[in-house]
Structures are given as structure tokens and as C-alpha cells.
Structure 1
């Protein structure tokens, strides 16, 4: 099942089942599980204004991972760029995802700084990026616009989460 989040009254963020399952596979259910993350790629739908996350990058061997920290290496950018080229310039960079060892995850100061850096420095379509955090029992998503407005998105299909 897809997860659907409300971005604006006319726009939704849709995380498709395959991408969702990949993110959930890295949820930190055990003390030995380390934080994981990557980039999200997908499409801006022209007919509905919706944004669809079709796929994600998964942890790379060059990442630094521990129980409470994750440092995303440049390898994720290479994965996203390669996918963009393979898809004939139609697979868009949509944001960054990562895990937290919390039932109901909340962003840390490091997370917020990372997101601000991504919005200010990364190349992307539209006026915002998306930032899911995968917890042990739910996935919460924030968006940050180029204007600096950070807010959490509301999940529309609540039966889709654990």
C-alpha cells in the first residue's frame, strides 16, 4: 500500500509501496540496528500536481552509520544522477530519508540543519524538498521550502501505517 501525505490543499506526496518497503526494511527495531538513509527519487505529476516517490537510494558502504547517527556519503548523489540519466531526465530528486530508533520519530537539530543545507544547496525541481524519518512504528514526513518554512505533513491514509 502507498502512503499519501497532504502537502497543500491541491498537492499530495505519494510514497509508493516498493520505496516504502525499502525504507521500512531499515527501521531500527533492535539495539544493534544502525541509522540508515538515502535520497528519494520520483516524479512531479503535471496533471494533478502530486509528487510521487518511486524509489530511494539505500545505505551505501561509504556512509557512516551508528545507533544514533547517520552521515550520508556522496555516493547517494551518484546513484540519483545515474538514475536520472537512465530515466532520460525524468526521475527527479525529491528529498532525503533516514531512520531513527524511536517509536514516533522527531527531527534532531542535526536533521534540521541537514535539511536546510539540502534546500539551500541541492539542485531540485519545485519549491520544496521532503524529509521522511522512519521510526519503529510510523513514518513521519516534513517538508522544507526554499522560503524556509518547515512543517510536518499530515498522513491521509492512516490505515497504511503499522
Structure 2
């Protein structure tokens, strides 16, 4: 399955099954599960404005994790640089993801500050970064542009594996 979100009238965010499963594996479904997170890696498609999340970094031993907080270590930046080199400079940093121990997650003020710091301080292609939060029932995704436009993305469609829609 892949998830497709509408970003602008001409741009979609597509999350492939592998990346989706990587994030969902850390959903906080039990009271003792700690928050988890990482970075989104993927590509900006050349023949469209679409962005594809192919994989995510997963929690590292150097991260600080508790039931209600997650602090990403610099190891994730190293992972992103390695992928960029391994994939011939085509793997792009697309944003940050993490979990919340709630059914339908909402960003905290700490999340918002973290996202603002990422957009203003990180090096990335394009106009915006993406910020999924994995809840126990749903995944919600926000985007923040370089101009400061912040909004939640709406799920446009789920594409099952069996459907073939040509190359994306």
C-alpha cells in the first residue's frame, strides 16, 4: 500500500509501503512504548512536482526517548548523508517523523519549534519539509514551507499493492 497526500494543486506527497511500515512499526500501542522518530528520505520526481518518501531512518541508540518525548541525535544526519552518497546524490532529505501515544496525534509546541528549526536551519531541496506524526490509530502529516506556511495535509488516496498506476 502507498499513501498519497495532496500538497498543492500540482504536487502530491507519496509514501511508499516500505517507509510506511518502517514508521508504523514504532507506533506506541502499549503504555510502555517510548516515542520514536527519524527522518524522511526520498526523491523529488523529475517529470512532476511530486515528492516520494522511499524510506525513513528509524530510532538510533543515541536518540533520547521517553513515553512523551523524542530527541533525535545527529546519527540521523549521518544516515541521510550516507544514503545520498550511496544513491548517487539522488536521495533527498524530506522532513522529520515521530510517534505520539494518542489515537489521532496533534503536534505539540515543541514539535512546532522543532519543525521551524528544521525548515530554517537544515539543507534541503524544494520549498517545504514534511512532518508525519504516527498515532495509535491514524497518521497525520503537516508541512511547513520556507515562507512559513504551515498546514495539515489531507489523505487523497490509499493505493493497494495490486493496483498498477505506472511508474511514479
Superimposed CA distance per residue, residues 121-161 of structure 1 (whole angstroms, 9 cap, x where no aligned partner): 0000001000000000110000000001110001011687x
Are 1:49 and 2:11 matched, yes or no?
no
Aligned to 2:59: 59
Aligned to 2:80: 80
Are 1:14 and 2:14 matched, yes or no?
yes
Distance in structure 2 (CA, Å) of the matches to 1:100 and 1:49 = 30
Are 1:136 and 2:136 matched, yes or no?
yes
Aligned to 1:148: 148
Structure 1 unaligned spans of 5+: none
- Aligned partners of 2:93 and 2:124 also within 8 Å: yes
Q: Which runs of 4+ in 1 moved over 3 A?
A: none
Are 1:115 and 2:115 matched, yes or no?
yes
The normalised TM-score by structure 1 is 0.97
Are 1:106 and 2:106 matched, yes or no?
yes
Tell me, what secondary structure is at the counterpart of 2:22?
helix
Distance in structure 2 (CA, Å) of the matches to 1:40 and 1:131 = 9
The normalised TM-score by structure 2 is 0.93
Tell me, what secondary structure is at the counterpart of 1:148?
coil
Aligned to 2:68: 68
Distance in structure 1 (CA, Å) of the matches to 2:158 and 2:63 = 32
Are 1:96 and 2:96 matched, yes or no?
yes
Cα offset for 1:99? Answer: 0.2
Distance in structure 2 (CA, Å) of the matches to 1:158 and 1:112 = 27
Structure 2 unaligned spans of 5+: 161-168
